[in-house]
Amino acid sequence: MNAGKVVAKTPEQIEGMRASGRLLARALALVVEAVEPGVTTNALNTVADEFIRDHGGTPSFLGVPAGSPGVAPFPGSICASTNDVIVHGIPSGNALQEGDIIGVDCGVILDGWHSDSAVTVAVGEVDDEAERLIAVTRNALDAAVAAAQPGNRLGDVGAAVQGLVERAGFSVVRRFVGHGIGRAMHEPPQVPNFGTAGTGAVLAVGTALAIEPMVNVGGPDVRFDTDGWTARSADGSLSAHFEHTVVVGASGPMVLTSRAAS
């Protein structure tokens, strides 16, 4: 997925990505507002799909080919991952229940530029463990973004996630990683959520990354449903996922998918 050379984005290209990220942030904010007990994940998918299309974008997940033979292309505009689902949950007619958590991952193409972002939210009132998992995973993303400084290395980003998560007693999922992003959804480099500080490729100004910690309450192992997409924690423990599209700027990281700025 990430073979090839990392190509830094120009200021003009970054502005194109910023517009894509802004649209995605607005779409995700609407989805988060719609999350409540009794809502189906199909309904959440419709919220995102219609808003993105109504504002000139294209949902980038819909129709993405599977990596395995015999598996159908992804059928949703969002990934809707509840409870023990780590990533790539398929939207369905199943209604959310009080006490669930749901990870919503979405991508947008606008004027040829990709953006990618995810958030995990509580459905109504959740227990203390779920609340802490969401907070730790969100904080891990913040720490990873803060490490995306010019002259730092990819290992600094992964180490920031791993250290925070493991100090909290949770596990970093290693089966899936973040990635470069730009004209394609997946560009070089791979961005692991684990690693050793001071190692890996140097982060140059203009490097665009999709940074996305995935964290399990239990062990890090993964199992797949028969649909070929839905990835769950192997031990059935809760899982959370947060993601931003980030560009390494001369003065520090620039988050292009911040919902606060949408």
Task: Check residue 67 and give its pLDDT.
Answer: 85
pLDDT tier, 188 (very low <50, low <70, confident <90, very high otherwise): very high
Alpha-helical regions (H) of 55-127: none
3-class SS letters over 20-65: HHHHHHHHHHHHHHHCCCCCEHHHHHHHHHHHHHHCCCEECCCCCC
- Closest listed residue to residue 80, CA positions, set 51, 55, 52, 43: 43
List domains and CATH numbers for the chain: 11-257 (3.90.230.10)
Task: Check residue 71 and give its pLDDT.
Answer: 96
The yes-or-no verdict on residue 23 having pLDDT over 80 is: yes
Across 49-63, average pLDDT: 98
- Closest listed residue to residue 124, CA positions, set 36, 53, 61: 36
pLDDT in tens, 192-238: 999 999 999 999 999 999 999 999 999 999 999 999 999 999 999 99
The yes-or-no verdict on residue 2 having pLDDT over 50 is: no
What is the overall mean pLDDT for the chain? 97
- Which of 24-28, 32-36, 65-69, 253-257 shows the lowest per-residue confidence on average (mean pLDDT)? 65-69
Instruction: Report how far residue 40's alpha carbon sits from residue 93's, in angstroms, rounded to the nearest whole number.
Output: 5
The yes-or-no verdict on residue 1 having pLDDT over 50 is: no
pLDDT in tens, 76-111: 999 999 999 999 999 999 999 999 999 999 999 999
Rounded to a whole number, what is the largest CA-CA distance in the chain? 47
Task: Check residue 14 and give its pLDDT.
Answer: 98
The yes-or-no verdict on residue 57 having pLDDT over 50 is: yes
The yes-or-no verdict on residue 262 having pLDDT over 60 is: no
Task: Check residue 149 and give its pLDDT.
Answer: 98
Residue pair 88/218 in contact (Cβ under 8 Å)? The answer is: no
Task: Check residue 122 and give its pLDDT.
Answer: 98
Instruction: Report how far residue 181's alpha carbon sits from residue 168's, in angstroms, rounded to the nearest whole number.
Output: 30
pLDDT in tens, 109-167: 999 999 999 999 999 999 999 999 999 999 999 999 999 999 999 999 999 999 999 99
Question: For the chain, how are helix, strand and coil distributed in percent, rounded to 5?
Answer: 30, 25, 45
Q: Which residues are CB-contacts of 86 (< 8 A; sequence separation ≥ 6)? A: 103, 173, 175, 176, 214, 216, 222, 231, 232, 233, 239, 241
